[in-house]
């Protein structure tokens, strides 16, 4: 009796089946896939608005997503795989929602920076939790409060070492 060397494989909807006789190289998600995942999460969870408000909110969510992914690709291209982590997707959604409501330019910039930093965190460590909380709390602060915190941080954790001349 001859042994069968079948190569049959089956998987459920949305699964990826990989079979090879040697090495398999998986490169992770592309920037376009990461963008679509982030926008799908936003669309599935965001409160439905009407008319112009809906368009403004969607445009802002798309803008912060684009800016985040562009900066991530420049600073940490491997971080694109973080959009497969539910915790990271939640942080992206929180940032999208906050900027969609406020439209504040400085808020978007800081949220993008925080998201890029958070994308670099693989393990659930203290820094991961601090970044998660910063993303959640930052939109709840007024511009004046954010400036006060920045000034306090500058005074407390930096020092003047003189002119470079």
Instruction: With a cut of 70, say whether residue 129 has pLDDT above it.
Output: yes
**Angle 95-98-133 from CA coordinates, rounded to 5°:** 55
pLDDT value of position 84: 87
Instruction: With a cut of 70, say whether residue 73 has pLDDT above it.
Output: yes
Single pTM value for the model:
0.69
Instruction: With a cut of 80, say whether residue 61 has pLDDT above it.
Output: yes
Residues 90-122: tens digit of each pLDDT: 999 999 999 999 999 999 999 999 999 999 998
Q: Which residue has the tokens 């001859």?
A: 2
For 44-53, 120-129, 138-147, which range has the lowest pLDDT when averaged over its residues? 44-53
Instruction: With a cut of 80, say whether residue 13 has pLDDT above it.
Output: no
- Alpha carbon of 24 to those of 18, 27, 82, 83, 136: distances in Å? 8, 10, 21, 22, 38
What sign has the CA pseudo-torsion 30, 102, 137, 150? positive
Instruction: With a cut of 80, say whether residue 17 has pLDDT above it.
Output: no
Q: Kindly state the percentage of the chain with pLDDT values over 90.
A: 45
């Amino acid at each position: 009796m001859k042994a069968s060397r079948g190569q049959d494989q089956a998987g459920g909807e949305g699964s990826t089946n990989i079979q090879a006789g040697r090495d398999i190289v998986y490169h992770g998600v592309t920037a376009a896939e990461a963008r679509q995942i982030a926008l799908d999460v936003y669309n599935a969870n965001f409160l439905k608005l009407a008319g112009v408000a809906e368009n403004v909110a969607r445009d802002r969510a798309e803008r912060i997503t684009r800016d985040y992914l562009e900066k991530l690709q420049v600073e940490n291209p491997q971080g694109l795989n973080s959009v497969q982590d539910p915790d990271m997707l939640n942080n992206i959604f929180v940032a999208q929602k906050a900027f969609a409501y406020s439209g504040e330019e400085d808020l978007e910039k800081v949220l993008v920076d925080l998201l890029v930093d958070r994308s670099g965190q693989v393990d659930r460590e203290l820094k991961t939790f601090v970044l998660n909380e910063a993303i959640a709390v930052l939109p709840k602060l007024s511009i004046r409060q954010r400036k006060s915190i920045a000034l306090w941080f500058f005074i407390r954790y930096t020092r003047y070492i003189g002119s470079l001349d």
